Amino acid sequence: MKKAFTIISFLSIISSYRLFAQSGFEQLIKAGPADATRLVDAYSRSLFKGFGLGMNSGWTNSAQTLGLLHFDLRVTGTGVIVPSSDKSFDVTRIGLSSNLRPANTNDVIAPSFSGNTRSNGPLMDVYDENNNKLISFELPSGILEDYVPTPQVQLTVGLFANTDVTVRAAPRFRIGKKIGSVSLFGFGIKHNFMRDLYQHDGKNVPFDLALAFSYNNLKYKKSLNLQPLENSVPQNNEQPMDYSGQEIFGNFNNYLFQALISKQFSIFTPYLSLGYNVSSVDMGLSGNYPIIDGFNGDQITYKTYSNPVRIDRTYLKDLRVDAGFQVKLPVIRLYASYGISENYGIVNAGIGIGL
């Protein structure tokens, strides 16, 4: 079980965090703390929304609950379809300071995480307070065009009184220097109220009706290495010189409340659910970062910022509707569903075993 959780968490990191590991995240810091925060927020919005919707998927495909100590082990995958409005952003409309400008005023549309993967975003110029150009850098291309994938693996066990509980978990483990480390914990609980009403006549239950709650938490860390530009000098002698503790961190919390209705027809059980998503992100940079800020004669100077980027906000708080089914074969289970939330499409499918 631990190995299965580890593999699926690894896939989550590969698919959802390449932005931080492979697309030159350190380059964004050259814009300065405030502008870097705005750029990361605009670029990552589709990732954070899609990841939240994906992590809130696959918990259940029926209002039915399992019998006492019966279990269901499933692996599912979710593809969250990103609307066109969140595939790109206008760099002139996200509140950047006058010190950071597009090099070409006709080239201002940048891809988001879910945008164009074939070319980078606009070239951006960084200026000092005296309007001297310091450096230029390109905004990154999209990573996964059109969608955000999220795999899930979980174990559900039936308890007493028409209630079952679900667990998703992986202890912190390091994948590698280019990816970072991750830990995952989640749990869910579901209660079938219709079975309470027909507890003495379970065979004549017209349909199943349940309420469910689930919660996911994923923590992520990755070391960074942004050093002073070659031949640059500190702004003054008071600047910290230790850059060894640079790190990007992320703490992702996802909540889902659901009301589900389903009806079993032999091996086939369709269901419909109405839910409410909440997904929040607390991510940023810790450590010291040397950021170009001007000139001292012919030499470029830099100022060191500690913990320069922090984004702590709720990206998703909205209703969702899901419809799908499960096919219950001897031992084997098949699952599929489609949902909608905030104009994002949510496709989920998987397979499991159950007794």
Which H or E element spans position 11?
A: helix 2-16
Residue 50 has pLDDT above 50, yes or no: yes
Inter-residue contact 247 to 223 (CB < 8 Å):
yes
pLDDT at 10: 42
pLDDT at 226: 83
pLDDT at 281: 93
Task: Give the span between the Cα atoms of 22 and 152, in whole angstroms.
Answer: 23
Task: Give the span between the Cα atoms of 79 and 54, in whole angstroms.
Answer: 7
- Predicted confidence band of residue 136 (pLDDT cuts 50, 70, 90): confident
pLDDT at 126: 86
Task: Give the span between the Cα atoms of 276 and 339, in whole angstroms.
Answer: 12
| Percentages (nearest 5) of helix, strand, coil residues in the chain | 15, 50, 30
CA triple 240-244-250, angle to 5 deg: 105
pLDDT at 103: 94
Mean pLDDT, the chain, rounded, equals 86
Task: Give the span between the Cα atoms of 149 and 279, in whole angstroms.
Answer: 16
pLDDT at 309: 87
Give residue-wise pLDDT tens across range 228-273: 888 888 888 888 889 988 988 989 999 999 999 999 999 999 999 9
Give residue-wise pLDDT tens across range 300-319: 888 898 998 899 999 999 99
Task: Give the span between the Cα atoms of 64 and 192, in whole angstroms.
Answer: 6
pLDDT at 201: 67
**For the chain, what is the domain count?**
1
Inter-residue contact 210 to 193 (CB < 8 Å):
yes
Closest by CA to 296, choosing from 226, 239, 244, is 239
Closest by CA to 162, choosing from 92, 212, 237, 119, is 212
* Full domain range(s) for residue 236: 2-354
Inter-residue contact 264 to 192 (CB < 8 Å):
no
3-state secondary structure of 205: coil
Inter-residue contact 110 to 94 (CB < 8 Å):
no
Closest by CA to 13, choosing from 229, 177, 210, 239, is 177
Task: Give the span between the Cα atoms of 302 and 321, in whole angstroms.
Answer: 51
Closest by CA to 126, choosing from 108, 101, 109, is 101
pLDDT at 184: 86
